[in-house]
Structure 1
Amino acid sequence: MAWLLLAGAIACEVLATTALKLSDGFAHKGWAVVVALGYVASFALLARVLKTQMEVGIAYAVWAGVGTAAIAVIGALFLGEGLSLPKVAGIALIIGGVVLLNLTGAH
């Protein structure tokens, strides 16, 4: 259940961050509302995850790492941002780091 809640937290954070870009500095109020609701939902779900037996380091690393990688890909695919070889390598390192933390944090 904790992993499902964490996936929801990541999805909300990615939605909110994408909306932050689309809000154009909060000039578009509809997107600004999505930003606020998305971040509140993300932190609420992350807080629920931390009430389980999942370690805070693992939960935060997965939340931040997967969210960062997802935003980089969304930026490249939908927001006209570049996706260079160094950016792809950075995403791979983030994913590798999250995997390594999960492997070493497992009991």
Structure 2
Amino acid sequence: MSWLYLGIAVIFEVAVGIFAGKAQGFTKLWWTIGTLVAGAIGTFFLSLALLTFDVGVGYAIWTSVSGVGIVIVGALFFSQRLTLKKLLGIALIIGGVVGLNLAGTA
């Protein structure tokens, strides 16, 4: 169940990244509210996941996978370029997440 909670937390954190960009420095009310609400929900689900995960491992997975998600959403829906360097960075992040997960089970 903790993986499900972490997955939900990642989805809301990706939303935070997208909404915060649209909030334009918190000058757009509804995007600002969306940012804050999504952040609160994401943090709530992260806290549930951290009942099982080590804090460092769970938080690292949450932030890393969320960052990759934001880059992918930006490329798919906001015409942001997905360069070879970005793809290499994503591959390194995925490798790090797998390594943290394996280390957490040892």
**Taking structure 1 as the reference length, what is the TM-score of the superposition?**
0.91
Number of equivalenced pairs: 106
Q: Tell me the equivalent position of 1:9.
A: 9
Rounded Cα–Cα distance in structure 2 between residues aligned with 1:45 and 1:102: 19
Report % sequence identity: 39
After TM superposition, give the deviation of residue 22 of structure 1 in Å.
Answer: 1.4
Rounded Cα–Cα distance in structure 2 between residues aligned with 1:92 and 1:59: 19
Deviation by residue 1:69-89 (Cα, 9 ceiling, x = unmatched): 011111111122211100110
Rounded Cα–Cα distance in structure 1 between residues aligned with 2:20 and 2:13: 10
Q: Tell me the equivalent position of 1:40.
A: 40
| 1:28 counterpart letter in structure 2 | K
Q: Tell me the equivalent position of 2:78.
A: 79
After TM superposition, give the deviation of residue 51 of structure 1 in Å.
Answer: 2.1
Q: Gapped runs of 5+ residues in structure 1? A: none
After TM superposition, give the deviation of residue 27 of structure 1 in Å.
Answer: 2.4
Rounded Cα–Cα distance in structure 2 between residues aligned with 1:80 and 1:37: 26
Q: Tell me the equivalent position of 2:49.
A: 49
Rounded Cα–Cα distance in structure 2 between residues aligned with 1:43 and 1:64: 11
Rounded Cα–Cα distance in structure 1 between residues aligned with 2:48 and 2:16: 19
After TM superposition, give the deviation of residue 90 of structure 1 in Å.
Answer: 0.3
After TM superposition, give the deviation of residue 62 of structure 1 in Å.
Answer: 1.2
Q: Tell me the equivalent position of 2:102.
A: 103
Q: CA RMSD in A?
A: 1.2
Answering whether residue 59 of structure 2 is matched by residue 60 of structure 1, we say yes
Deviation by residue 1:43-87 (Cα, 9 ceiling, x = unmatched): 1111122223x2112211210110010111111111222111001
Q: Tell me the equivalent position of 1:88.
A: 87
